[in-house]
A and B are shown apart, each in its own frame.
Chain A
Amino acid sequence: MPSNTVPTPLPRRSGQRPVWYRRFPPTREGWYFLTATLLIGLAALNAGLNPLFLIWGAMLSLILMSGVLSELCIRDIEVRRHLPPVIHAGTPYLMGIAFHNKKKRLPSFSVEVEDLLEGSPIEKRCYFLKVPAGRAQETAYRTTARRRGRYHLSGFRVSTRFPFGLIQKSRDIASPCDVLVYPALVPVPASLLKGLPTPHGRGSTHWRSRRGDFFGLREFRQGDDPRDIHWRTSARRGAPFVREMEDDEGKEATLVLDNGAVAEGPGAHEQAFENAVSLAASVARTLLGRGYRVGLVTRDAEIRPDGGPGQATRIMRLLATIGRVGADSPRLDSATAHARIRITPGKPPVVERAFELARTPA
């Protein structure tokens, strides 16, 4: 498995190890030390030299204390994950790890924390040199999810080689968390955005913001007419909200993603499907970033056009987990009168209904 990647989802393990379960394999130096202990013990027993028994006893006690002290380091601790807001496949991200030492008096030394994906470590470690009693420290590891989808992070593996570097003791801490990896972002072909109005600067407006019937309230976006701000709602919510008019939907687009399975078997078609999903995500993100209200239609789901970060999340979540449906699944077409882009795996995307030109100011 290449580094910085997250493997494809594995089936969940049934049953968990008991809380007290510990792993303590010796390190390389630990093996040397154990061998030396064995040899010196044999020499002491064989030769009957009493001072050698003292040496041997000290070595045995040192091994024992190594186990005790390492256990103290990884007891009474809490580990939390700080996920980034968005994770796209193929894009590096930082996973924050917070280590809290809940012991009252003893610090934790030299602790490594690994995330567990479906019970297996992902081989990206966060290291904490010293966490005093009652304190917390944060760090992060950098990794890249190779594929989109839902990943189940089952917990953490906390390990330490403290105090003598002879044994690496580790324990697993359950902290289940599902991480949704959004599709990879790809460059959007210019042909798809043909006719797309250029992004507006601050304070300028090129569309009618007061025409039409009252539709609802939405969050203020850059480019909105400040005169459309609904002050009462804004005061109550603590964020600016604008009135949304029905005819204010000149900036609306629908993406149609055909996720019907192709009659022929998988293989190259699998990659084509992933490419299509990535393209759909990239187009949706671009349009939403330009203030469009974007909807998504597939063979088995539909998201009504809307804008804002919430809409982006909804679309990305659907695309993160979307799969192919049967080839005989009915096609779904949006009856929208606005721009529509059809993305079919294995075929070039088609602009079925072009974007309107930029409207003149009211």
Chain B
Amino acid sequence: MRFQATHKLASYVLVAVAMASLAAAGLVAPLAAALAFAGLLLSWFAEPTSFLGVLIAGRGALPARLIAVAFLALTVWEVAAHLPEPDLSPIISLLLFLVVFKLFHRRSNRDYLHLYILSFLLILAAAAFAQSAVFLVGFWLYVLLTTWTLMLFHLRREMEENYLVKHSTQAPSQKVGVHRILNSRRVVGRWFFVLTAGVAVVIFAGALVTFMLVPRVGAGFVLGGPKPRRFLVGFSDEVALGQSGFLSSDNRAVALRATVPRLASLDAAARDRELENLYWRGTVYDTYDHGHWARSRTPGLATDLEPLGRQWMVKEPGFRGSSPFPPLANTIRQEIDIVGLQVPVAFGLDQPIAFELQDAQPGVGAAAELRLVPRWSSEVALRLFSRASSSVSESEEGRTAGGAHYVVFSRDSLAHASAQSGMPIDELDPDLLRPYLALPSELSPRVQALARTITAGKPSASAKLQAVIDWLGRTHGYSTQLKRHTAVADPLEDFLFEQKAGHCEYFASAAAVLLRAAGVPTRYVNGFLGGEWNALGEHVTVRQNRAHSWAEAYLGEFGWVRVDATPSIKASRSMSRLSEMVDSLELWWSRWVVSYDFARQIDLARSLGKRLGLLPSPGGRAADGALSWRRHKVGFINGAAALVLGFGVMQWRRRRPRRSEERIRRIPSGTPVGQLYEKALRRLAAGGFPRRPSETPREYLERARTVGLQGWEVLERITAHYEDARFGGALVEEGIVRALARRIAELVPSSEATGITKVTAVTGG
């Protein structure tokens, strides 16, 4: 490919990659991205001599500049309007506009340089807000293309400034046209790009090494946060039946990922069964009123977070009393990565009893801190606070932070139902129970009658609970196609008596309300159900379409128990291989890049040291790691010796003269004519006329003739015979050699050779 075209193509692809990375980071509206790419493609044809280029430079020059100024003014105004918390989106749009503007106005090397700088700013913006592993791909491509492009740009500039200068002694040097060399195919070829791709690999590796090793000790400002992701309604302070999130197979965005070690140890069949019973508990509501669930914010229902080492234990003091916490070793540990939710909720498997936060969180600057905030009904929220704030309560300054990473310890509310998880109902404070038993005053009497009918003859709360579940399962069906009988005001009543079909929210609400009518304290819970097992990353991926609602009923000593009255629905539990790879990559990106922190660096160094046997085990004795001295003593010695030997050989090969040079420079002094030639050289060198190292014998002879060396004819004969012997393999007669040896005295060195006579006395006058 011709050099100039290659340089242009590389520059364009570089800019395209930067734009794509920016778009992948979600910083650009789809329309703006499409326009930018269209401009990129169109500008390819806007060469200075083309019709489009002439048009732009001519009539289009003034309008283009006016548009640019207007865009700049608009950007300044938009940024100023959002102060003191500036929005970076207008600045990014301005950058895109400038890139396209510059692409249409490529005239000189300086314009290309400006393009590269702008593309770098784009990639910088993408890096600042990248939340997906797609950035890593874009970054690698950018490194590769930058390596190529900068090299080509450098060569092009050097060509235009230095190359093809016509020299002449009669006239000053002139630069000739560079178009020929710019259109040459011989400047760079396939191997150039292959080898420079290797350079790019090294640069990329260096970037990774820097990333791994530089300690994270930031203590400064926080940039503007990323744009809020899709906000799934259903996890807010109030939920409305029929308007909130529901099971939708269309919404496959990942909500969270969870690493559950217990699942990894199960076989596939057992794991599939477990997946069906993964209830990711989120928000909890205690007040129902005419199709709405809300929180009463009763002080007694507030969650209590008690610190215990690095963990925060979740307590409902009014319901647990003084019962001790179960040991965490007996709980289900999960490592949660919130991905696609900008919600203040700390999700965890039902029922979470402890939380543990990392020191650094993705998307959180060093000046901010993610904290656990207790809410109600054992619900825990995540809030972002500035480090200067001393209050842990919900602050107006606090912002939610999507992408949080934390650890949860949960107990299975059903599996541990026999444990002493709660206090008997009659021992509870009636004020605490009142919200969980409250029914709206407008609730239809037939709902209460229905509850009595269903639970008739069931003395215990658990029996009532089972009766309600059975009845709902028997009489109602699952459907996401919601219909409403407008004459019935309460959607729940409509569901129970008219529609007899609905989704999980209706089933959960119906169970909660019916049980309350039967005297069983209940509450309403929103969360997620199940997930997809990623065999590659050994984690569970929970998508938005797994949002689910259920109820919790208080069964005295058994505490709060999960009540899921929704008929079971089959959902995909596995992913394709490609999906697993992409999903694992995203999880790896989230944990090892975005949330890589100093603590993880220390852990990494420790684990590496233990693996290599460089660190002692807890018992004090150095472990026999992979590279322990004891195990590989001989190998170490051999390896060190091989290294030293190899280095020595390398140095010897570098320093010794090359064979060809040696052959050329070595005079066959073993032969008489060789010795004769050496003798002649020594005589002349002693006289101040040495042969230069870079001179051939013939060049030396010519130089001697030029300076008028006396006895030149003798040197000429000696040189001729010497060359015949050395290069022609001829045998020179000894007689000739002796005769020439006698004439060596005719070789007059130095001042005599120049013919200049030094005069010290007057000779005549």
Q: Interface of A with B (CB < 8 Å)? A: 29, 40, 44-58, 60-62, 64-65, 69, 80, 85, 91-94, 102, 109-110, 112, 125, 127, 129-130, 139-142, 161-165, 175, 177, 237, 299-304, 306, 309-311, 313-314, 317-318, 330-335
In the bound complex, residues from chain B placing their C-beta under 8 Å from that of A139 are 167
In the bound complex, residues from chain B placing their C-beta under 8 Å from that of A94 are 167-169
Least CB distance from A218 to B in Å reads 12
Given A50-B362, A53-B210: 13 more A-B contacts, CB < 8 Å: A45-B220, A49-B223, A50-B594, A52-B128, A55-B127, A57-B206, A57-B209, A58-B206, A61-B202, A109-B155, A301-B757, A310-B708, A332-B759
Interchain CB contact under 8 A, A51 and B708: no
Return the chain B residue nearest A36 by Cβ: B120
Least CB distance from B481 to A in Å reads 44
Return the chain B residue nearest A112 by Cβ: B162
B residues 191-227 near A (Cβ < 8 Å) are 196, 199, 202-211, 214, 216-223
Interchain CB contact under 8 A, B154 and A57: no
Interchain CB contact under 8 A, B707 and A313: yes
Interchain CB contact under 8 A, B708 and A163: no
A49/B128 contact (C-beta < 8 A), A162-B154, A303-B756, A313-B706 known: yes
Least CB distance from B151 to A in Å reads 5
B135 proximal to A (CB < 8 A): yes
B residues 588-611 near A (Cβ < 8 Å) are 593-597
Find B207's partner among A58, A91, A175 (CB 8 Å cutoff). Answer: A58
The CA of A93 and the CA of B173, in the complex, are separated in Å by 12
In the bound complex, residues from chain A placing their C-beta under 8 Å from that of B135 are 51
In the bound complex, residues from chain B placing their C-beta under 8 Å from that of A125 are 162
In the bound complex, residues from chain B placing their C-beta under 8 Å from that of A333 are 763-765
Return the chain A residue nearest B596 by Cβ: A50
In the bound complex, residues from chain B placing their C-beta under 8 Å from that of A102 are 658
In the bound complex, residues from chain B placing their C-beta under 8 Å from that of A311 are 708, 755
Interchain CB contact under 8 A, B154 and A309: no
| 23 sampled A-B residue pairs with Cβ under 8 A | A44-B214, A44-B218, A46-B221, A48-B220, A49-B223, A51-B135, A51-B593, A52-B127, A53-B211, A54-B208, A55-B127, A58-B204, A61-B206, A129-B158, A129-B181, A165-B150, A302-B757, A304-B755, A314-B755, A317-B707, A317-B754, A331-B762, A332-B762
B residues 147-176 near A (Cβ < 8 Å) are 147, 150-151, 153-155, 157-159, 162-163, 165, 167-170, 172-173
In the bound complex, residues from chain A placing their C-beta under 8 Å from that of B222 are 47
Interchain CB contact under 8 A, A57 and B765: no
The CA of A47 and the CA of B210, in the complex, are separated in Å by 16
Return the chain B residue nearest A29 by Cβ: B113
A47/B366 contact (C-beta < 8 A), A164-B154, A335-B764 known: yes
Find B169's partner among A46, A56, A93, A302 (CB 8 Å cutoff). Answer: A93
Categorize the interface residue count of chain B. Answer: 35 or more
Return the chain A residue nearest B173 by Cβ: A142
In the bound complex, residues from chain A placing their C-beta under 8 Å from that of B181 are 129
Interchain CB contact under 8 A, A164 and B150: yes
Find A309's partner among B153, B196, B706 (CB 8 Å cutoff). Answer: B706
In the bound complex, residues from chain A placing their C-beta under 8 Å from that of B763 are 332-333, 335
Return the chain A residue nearest B760 by Cβ: A300
Return the chain A residue nearest B363 by Cβ: A49
Interchain CB contact under 8 A, A165 and B157: yes
Interchain CB contact under 8 A, B167 and A318: no
Interchain CB contact under 8 A, A46 and B219: yes
Find A303's partner among B203, B365, B755 (CB 8 Å cutoff). Answer: B755
B residues 395-409 near A (Cβ < 8 Å) are none
The CA of A141 and the CA of B167, in the complex, are separated in Å by 7
Find A65's partner among B202, B707, B758 (CB 8 Å cutoff). Answer: B202
The CA of A342 and the CA of B169, in the complex, are separated in Å by 33
Q: Interface of B with A (CB < 8 Å)? A: 113, 123-124, 127-128, 130, 135, 139, 143, 146-147, 150-151, 153-155, 157-159, 162-163, 165, 167-170, 172-173, 181, 187, 196, 199, 202-211, 214, 216-223, 360, 362, 365-366, 593-597, 658, 692, 694, 705-708, 713, 716, 754-759, 761-765
Least CB distance from B496 to A in Å reads 52
Least CB distance from A111 to B in Å reads 10
Interchain CB contact under 8 A, A51 and B154: no
Least CB distance from B183 to A in Å reads 14
In the bound complex, residues from chain B placing their C-beta under 8 Å from that of A175 are 694
Least CB distance from B227 to A in Å reads 16
Least CB distance from B734 to A in Å reads 21
The CA of A265 and the CA of B151, in the complex, are separated in Å by 59
Least CB distance from A10 to B in Å reads 23
In the bound complex, residues from chain B placing their C-beta under 8 Å from that of A64 are 206
In the bound complex, residues from chain A placing their C-beta under 8 Å from that of B754 are 314, 317-318
The CA of A61 and the CA of B597, in the complex, are separated in Å by 22
The CA of A294 and the CA of B633, in the complex, are separated in Å by 85
Return the chain A residue nearest B215 by Cβ: A45
A47/B162 contact (C-beta < 8 A), A129-B155, A301-B756 known: no
Least CB distance from A82 to B in Å reads 10
In the bound complex, residues from chain B placing their C-beta under 8 Å from that of A303 are 755-757
In the bound complex, residues from chain B placing their C-beta under 8 Å from that of A58 are 139, 143, 203-204, 206-207
The CA of A308 and the CA of B181, in the complex, are separated in Å by 45
Find B124's partner among A55, A112, A330 (CB 8 Å cutoff). Answer: A55
In the bound complex, residues from chain A placing their C-beta under 8 Å from that of B694 are 80, 175
Interchain CB contact under 8 A, B759 and A165: no
Find A161's partner among B154, B209, B220 (CB 8 Å cutoff). Answer: B154
Interchain CB contact under 8 A, B206 and A47: no
Interchain CB contact under 8 A, A54 and B220: no
Interchain CB contact under 8 A, A130 and B713: no
Interchain CB contact under 8 A, B764 and A48: no
The CA of A48 and the CA of B205, in the complex, are separated in Å by 20
Find A313's partner among B187, B366, B708 (CB 8 Å cutoff). Answer: B708
A65/B218 contact (C-beta < 8 A), A52-B128, A331-B762 known: no
The CA of A129 and the CA of B156, in the complex, are separated in Å by 10
Interchain CB contact under 8 A, A162 and B366: no
In the bound complex, residues from chain B placing their C-beta under 8 Å from that of A301 are 756-759
Least CB distance from B20 to A in Å reads 16
In the bound complex, residues from chain A placing their C-beta under 8 Å from that of B216 are 48, 50
The CA of A304 and the CA of B710, in the complex, are separated in Å by 14
In the bound complex, residues from chain A placing their C-beta under 8 Å from that of B762 are 330-332
